[in-house]
Amino acid sequence: MTRLQFAASSALISLAMIGGHSFAAEPEALLVIKDHKFEPLEVKVPAGQRVRLIVHNQDATPEEFESHDLNREKVVPAGAKVTIYIGPLKPGRYGFYGEYHEASAKGAVVAE
């Protein structure tokens, strides 16, 4: 590993650790992208607290997770697992979609 790579990854890890220490164990929810569709179609999360949404793209092509209601937008490369923090949410339904395959990739986060 070159010094630059080491410095860069140290910086990233430090930032992540700072971020990591700023919260206690918070609820996680898993969302899978398969065949350009989301599974499950409705993700249930607790209202009123921050939630760690893990999006796992099991397709061979990238997808972009996007939601106007949740105010989130993130590219998920093929085979990758990304972390998206959402909330705190008021109880309700928050739609999301896959921008690269909008016809089939649709779902919602239900906060209750």
Partner 1 sequence: MFGVAIIVFRETLEAALFVGIIAAATRGLIGRSWYLTGGILAGVAGAFALASGAEHISALADGIGQDLVNAGILGVALTMLTWHCVWVSNNGQMAAADARALGTSLQDGQNRPWALMVVVAMSVLREGAETVLFVAGYAQGAGQTGMVAGAIFGALGGTAAGLLIYVGLSRVPVKKLFAVTNSLILLLAASIASQLARALSQAGLVNAWGQSLWDTSGWLRVDSPFGVVAHALAGYDPQPTGLQVAFYLLALFVMLSGSHWVQRAQTRARLDRVR
Considering only residues 77, 93, 95, 112, which one is a binding residue for partner 1 as defined by CB under 8 A?
77
50 belongs to the binding site for partner 1 (CB under 8 A): yes
47 binds partner 1 (CB under 8 A): no
Helices (H), the chain: 3-21
Pairing between β-strand 92-98 and β-strand 81-86 as defined by DSSP bridges: unpaired
State how far the Cα of 20 lies from the Cα of 26, in Å rounded to an integer.
11
| Binding of residue 13 to partner 1 (CB under 8 A) | yes
- Among the candidate windows 14-22, 38-46, 104-112, which touches partner 1 by CB under 8 A? 14-22
What is the token pair recorded at 56?
């796992």
